[in-house]
Amino acid sequence: MPCVRIVVLILLMLSSVSCSLGEKTPSIIVIAVDSLPYNSILCADNELNKGFSVVCDQMARFTHAFTPSILAQPAIASILTALYPIDHGVHHNGDDILSAKYSTIAEAAIRKGYRTSFFSGGAPIFRRSGLQQGFEVFDDTLALDINRFYRPVLETFKAFLSWQKSEASSGSYLSFIYIPDLQFPETATVDNKGVAREQSYSGQLMELDESMEYLIKELKKRGEWNKNWIFFMGLNGHTPQERLNEAPGLNLFHENTRATLFVKKPEKEKDRINPWVVDMQVSLVDVGRTLFDIVGEDPISATANHFSSLTLKNKLLNYERNNVKDRMLILESAWGYWKDIGPIRYAFQLENYLLIHDKTLKVYNTAVDRNQIYPLDYRTALQTESIVRALEIIDTLQLPPWEIYDIEGYKSYLLRGPTTYQSIEPSEKYIEAWGKTEKRESAEGPKAFEAVEKERALKAQKYLKIDLDIQRLNFIKGSLWDTRRDYLKIDSH
């Protein structure tokens, strides 16, 4: 009998070892959405919410997540490298490419035995950007026509699910999914019953909501939802209300720099704590650092030590709510540099203060001025110790303050806004700093708009070689025009 017991114990031990060896490392899915601000998913009880309701109920929500850049290409480069743009060198959506000297999370994942894939729904995220480093599959294949300049989110999700089923069903994988749909509010969508939605940002947001519901259901069917890491985030913000004399591509106020961030850790349904909210200020660069931590490697060290990243892994695993104090985040936009109308524009978020590094420094107390409308008096700002410390760091970095190189060129960009353009009323000092500007409905407005329309149509006919209906290609503000220009030059990438 003792011998039988020993044999049984040995068999049980071998069985437990084989089961543990059979458990695969959790996979990682990163869903990055262009133009998804912090207030786009409020997690209120709403019967219309489908996929978003699951996101709110089953994922940790970070209420104060900031993007390192309001342009998609540098923001994704920051997530891939866990570095800020001032370190990895990608600043805009044009010909700034990620150098091969920077190791990405995809390369780290490959070294650890993960399968890797990237699915892009459209510009500016193409393989020519250098972001494909380490991805076994980088799918940026698009079927373009006159009515659509991107791959709809549902098609992008299906492409990922097809790859996961055929290539990565038996092992661990790291997959990125880039969703540009919200940049195209003028494109009509339909719901799962075939009913057309309104042509608006809200319509596209509903399409994303419904598509997220489809993705989550498919992942649950395959047993991939609970056991994996899933990151769902916005790369930048969006607002129908614009600021006076602020081009959307340069706006570093919170409506453009605070982004949505939800994270789900691998866990069983019974162990989940719902809902779980984290109010600490984090950067999307921290998401990159967290990915490296999950994979088990360290990212390249930052040279700008004032803006290092931190991992959120332990905070997520242990449901930690403690804030990280005295941390300054750097935010930027190189849209003006890209367009040769000014240098890179920087802003800094420190505790409840936003500092915009213009030629005339602007400081806002976001605790009492949520919309950042009334800048603090400079002498008042200098009485705050944390602001003085931030100014010392800014002076050490010797970053150029924002100023307009080409005033006429800048005005022409402002004139391209839609006729329904509205502005948040700024303070008197803000108006004085900028001076008087021409109104959008001035005589120059229609002429400038007409010239842009004509130039765009000629380029479209040249590169797409089809007879475009100009009215179907209504000019959309700022970076979306750059997005469309990239599409029209699709044959060059």
Q: What is the CATH number of the domain that holds 252?
A: 3.40.720.10
371 belongs to a structural domain: yes
Backbone angles phi, psi at 19, to 5 degrees: -65, -40
Residue bearing the bigger pLDDT, 9 or 440: 9
Domain span at residue 403 reads 330-409+423-432
Chain-centroid distance of CA 342 in Å reads 24
Residue 467 has pLDDT above 50, yes or no: no
Tell me what percent of the chain is helix, strand and coil, each rounded to the nearest 5.
Answer: 40, 15, 45
Count of domains in the chain? 2
470 belongs to a structural domain: no
387 belongs to a structural domain: yes
Do 366 and 401 fall into the same domain? yes
> What are the helix (H) ranges across 23-142?
51-58, 72-81, 85-88, 105-111
465 belongs to a structural domain: no
- Report pLDDT digits (tens) over 40-73: 888 876 555 688 999 999 999 999 999 999 999 9
Query: Residue 95: which residues within 8 A CB-CB, separation 6 or more?
Result: none
189 belongs to a structural domain: yes
Report pTM: 0.80
Do 311 and 350 fall into the same domain? no
Domain boundary among 301, 324, 347: 324
The single-letter DSSP state of residue 129 is G
CA dihedral 436, 440, 444, 449 (to 10 degrees): 140
Do 31 and 157 fall into the same domain? yes
Domain boundary among 307, 324, 341: 324
490 belongs to a structural domain: no
Residue bearing the bigger pLDDT, 458 or 431: 458
Average pLDDT, the chain: 79
Do 29 and 117 fall into the same domain? yes
Do 48 and 181 fall into the same domain? yes
- Report pLDDT digits (tens) over 121-155: 998 999 888 999 999 999 998 876 656 688 999 99
Three-point CA angle 424, 427, 432, nearest 5°: 115
- Per the document, the length of the chain is 493
Do 197 and 276 fall into the same domain? yes
Do 152 and 183 fall into the same domain? yes
453 belongs to a structural domain: no
Query: Residue 132: which residues within 8 A CB-CB, separation 6 or more?
Result: 118, 138
Do 400 and 354 fall into the same domain? yes
- Report pLDDT digits (tens) over 409-437: 777 666 654 433 233 333 343 334 433 33
236 belongs to a structural domain: yes
Do 297 and 394 fall into the same domain? no
Domain boundary among 398, 432, 466: 432
